[in-house]
Amino acid sequence: MRLLHIVANPSPLEYAVDRHLANAFVDALCTRAPDAAVDTVDLYDDPPPYLDGPTLRYFWQRVGQPDYEPSEIEREASAYARRHCALVRTASVIALTAPMWNASMPAILKSWIDQVICPGETYRFGDDGPEGTHAIERICVFTTSGAAYTAGEPRDCFTNLVRSAFGFIGIDRVDVVWADGQNRAIYADHDARRERAMAAAAALAADVAG
Ligand SMILES: Cc1cc2nc3c(=O)[nH]c(=O)nc-3n(C[C@H](O)[C@H](O)[C@H](O)COP(=O)(O)O)c2cc1C
């Protein structure tokens, strides 16, 4: 098993509940599956660019025109996407760690998703539509929010987006560990909510380890 762990939270570990959830998951996973390899990418150390015109041309011109010769500018612009798509292709599980911001994921994580759901790199167009060209079996999301949520409800534009975007390239298994209700001023049971999520992270590790 190879886990690609994408972290999208600028807060340090001592303040970031989602990082604690993810660490509990990774620690439990590595205990249960000592052969597991973990690649961790902190997006604030390796930030994705916005998907731009030269990058789009690099990947999409090849879809209808396999012998397309990209320009040097297109090659350079697409370097991040190619590097991160290669990471995705070597992984069997992806973990996404990020807080809920403005009803969705931090923009830096959306930018990363825009870079790695990429024709010719992580999917191709087959006779019946898009087909994944990766070995990802499942995605595990570790998140936290100030308000109380139910994953999948209409205002949850985070995990619904993950399911929809990665479903497009054939990844339908998305597990969510979510410490909601972390606003201390509103939810007296915020600690209990966090502890439940920590237990859920460990249980998910047991399931992923098999
Ligand atoms: C910019 C920003 C936007 C936020 N938007 C939301 C939101 O839409 N819904 C919500 O429930 N909490 C929201 N919050 C609260 C955070 O999700 C909450 O504090 C969370 O526990 C932070 O996660 P962390 O401890 O892992 O950094 C927001 C916080 C910030 C800083």
Digitized pLDDT (tens) for each residue of the chain, 210 residues in all: 999 999 999 999 889 999 999 999 999 999 999 999 999 999 999 999 999 999 999 999 999 898 999 999 999 999 999 999 999 999 999 999 999 999 999 999 999 999 999 999 999 999 999 999 999 999 999 999 999 998 889 999 999 999 999 999 999 999 999 999 999 999 999 999 999 999 999 999 999 999
Looking at residue 152, what is its pLDDT? 86
Cα 155 to averaged position of ligand 1 atoms, centre (Å): 14
Cα 146 to averaged position of ligand 1 atoms, centre (Å): 5
CB of residue 181 inside a 6 A radius of ligand 1: no
Which ligand 1 atom minimizes the distance to the CA of 100? Answer: 17
Cβ contact 89:135 at 8 Å: yes
Residue that the structure tokens 């070597």 belong to: 90
Distances, alpha carbon 201 to alpha carbons 19, 68, 155, 164, 177, in Å: 11, 45, 23, 22, 6
Cα gap 117→200, rounded to integer Å: 28
Domains of the chain in sequence order: 2-209 (3.40.50.360)
Cα 9 to averaged position of ligand 1 atoms, centre (Å): 10
Pocket test for ligand 1, best of 109, 145, 187 (most atoms within 8 A of CB): 145
Looking at residue 64, what is its pLDDT? 87
Identify the H or E element spanning 95: strand 93-97
Looking at residue 151, what is its pLDDT? 85
CB of residue 130 inside a 6 A radius of ligand 1: no
Q: Is the pTM of this model over 0.95?
A: yes
Cα 101 to averaged position of ligand 1 atoms, centre (Å): 5
Looking at residue 138, what is its pLDDT? 98
